[in-house]
């Protein structure tokens, strides 16, 4: 047993934090293993027991309401019962409308949200459609002839050769807004190096329109043309990253953006940001309590709280206190 495992076994994390993981591969949880581990690292940092509710993004869509109403109702109950929402990366158009709906719910209801890669892009599309009143906004990945292409194929990419055409590996992101949440979580750094894996990006020609409407691009690459981090300033925690922060998360060094999500989802974000502003870089010194915090009410498909043997309702329970899953 290593030092971290010993610490976890001695620390009684009594309060749950529920995160809705909205994706298209939820039937095989290993598809999101890196994301799951990053959530666990962050929940340990915040002294919370992690419960992940797997939500198939297709089940949130209107077509499922007609074809499988029970699945539709169950998916929305899970989403609405979550303390925070995470939309990870992915490829292909299946389930993207459900991801857009998840981002919309989080934005409109002030629920902590973290979108990664495609999850960021779909948050941008959602904002364009429902805040900027651009109903035809889309990614050219899903509609090559989109009337409002707010996510586009990277100019330097090849549309005829799939191999070796992705923007991969560690790339530098420069913070453009000093007092944004993401910059604070990274210890008020001027820039960060994070790993990438994508072919599509936010259309830089639309950035002024987005920012005038309230969506801020707080992180960009060295050219100022590639958007790396989005935030909605008046939302308690609504962040999207074009990169994959989960790839660099470690048990003793959790990803700052994942820490932000868990902290916001458990009522601790102000304390975390204050600590970062005082010069503490995650995972520096922090003071978290095991209570009191009242999480969102959790319901099953009948509208009533459902308790399992371990006291956890409707989710995959990760015992990061006793029985280490990190």
Would you say residue 22 lies in a domain? yes
pLDDT at residue 72 in the model: 97
Question: pTM here?
Answer: 0.81
Residue pLDDT, tens place only, 140-184:
877 889 999 988 866 554 455 455 565 555 677 888 888 899 999
Cα 166 versus chain centre, distance: 22
Residue pLDDT, tens place only, 114-132:
999 889 999 999 999 999 9
Indicate which CATH number applies to the domain containing 26: 3.40.50.880
Would you say residue 145 lies in a domain? yes
Average pLDDT for residues 191-216, to the nearest whole number? 84
Whether residue 80 is predicted with pLDDT greater than 80 in this model: the reply is: yes
> Please, are residues 237 and 112 in contact by the beta-carbon 8 Å criterion?
yes
Would you say residue 288 lies in a domain? no
* Phi, psi (deg, nearest 5) at residue 87: -115, 110
- Which amino acids are annotated catalytic? 117, 244, 246
Cα 278 versus chain centre, distance: 25
Would you say residue 41 lies in a domain? yes
> Please, are residues 85 and 105 in contact by the beta-carbon 8 Å criterion?
yes
**256-279 burial, b for 16+ CB within 10 Å, e for fewer?**
bbbbbbbbbbbbbbeebbebbeee
Please list, in sequence order, all residues whose beta carbon lies within 8 angstroms of the beta carbon of residue 149, skipping any fewer than 6 positions away: 138, 139, 140, 203
Would you say residue 326 lies in a domain? no
Domain count, the chain: 1
Report which of 175, 169, 186, 153 is spatially closest to residue 256, judged by C-alpha positions.
186
Look up the domain containing 103 and give its range.
1-155+164-278
- When the pLDDT of each residue in the chain is averaged and rounded to a whole number, the result is 79
Would you say residue 289 lies in a domain? no
Report which of 98, 129, 153, 117 is spatially closest to residue 210, judged by C-alpha positions.
129
Would you say residue 247 lies in a domain? yes
Would you say residue 210 lies in a domain? yes
């Amino acid at each position: 047993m290593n030092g971290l495992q010993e610490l976890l076994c001695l620390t009684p994390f009594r309060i749950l934090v529920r995160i809705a993981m909205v994706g298209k591969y939820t039937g095989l949880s290993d598809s999101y293993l890196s994301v799951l581990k990053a959530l666990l690292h962050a929940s340990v940092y915040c002294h919370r027991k992690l419960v992940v509710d797997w939500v198939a993004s297709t089940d949130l869509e209107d077509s499922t309401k007609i074809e499988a109403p029970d699945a539709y109702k169950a998916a929305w109950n899970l989403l609405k019962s979550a303390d925070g929402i995470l939309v990870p990366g992915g490829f292909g158009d299946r389930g993207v409308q459900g991801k857009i709906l998840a981002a919309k719910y989080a934005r409109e209801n002030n629920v902590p949200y973290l979108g990664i890669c495609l999850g960021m892009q779909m948050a941008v599309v959602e904002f364009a459609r429902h805040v900027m009143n651009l109903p035809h906004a889309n990614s050219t990945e899903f509609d090559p002839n989109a009337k409002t292409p707010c996510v586009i194929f990277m100019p330097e990419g090849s549309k005829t050769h799939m191999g070796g055409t992705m923007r991969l590996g560690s790339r530098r992101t420069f913070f453009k807004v000093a007092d944004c949440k993401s910059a604070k979580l990274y210890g008020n750094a001027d820039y960060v190096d994070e790993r990438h894996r994508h072919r599509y990006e936010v259309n830089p020609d639309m950035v002024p329109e987005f920012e005038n409407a309230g969506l801020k691009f707080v992180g960009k690459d060295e050219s100022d043309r590639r958007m790396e981090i989005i935030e909605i300033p008046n939302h308690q925690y609504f962040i999207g990253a074009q990169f994959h922060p989960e790839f660099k998360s470690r048990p003793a060094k959790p990803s700052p953006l994942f820490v932000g999500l868990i902290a916001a989802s458990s009522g601790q974000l102000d304390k975390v940001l204050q600590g970062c502003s005082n010069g503490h870089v995650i995972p520096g010194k922090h003071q978290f309590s095991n209570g009191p915090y009242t999480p969102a009410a959790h319901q099953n498909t009948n509208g009533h709280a459902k308790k399992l043997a371990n006291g956890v309702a409707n989710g995959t329970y990760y015992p990061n206190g006793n029985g280490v899953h990190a």
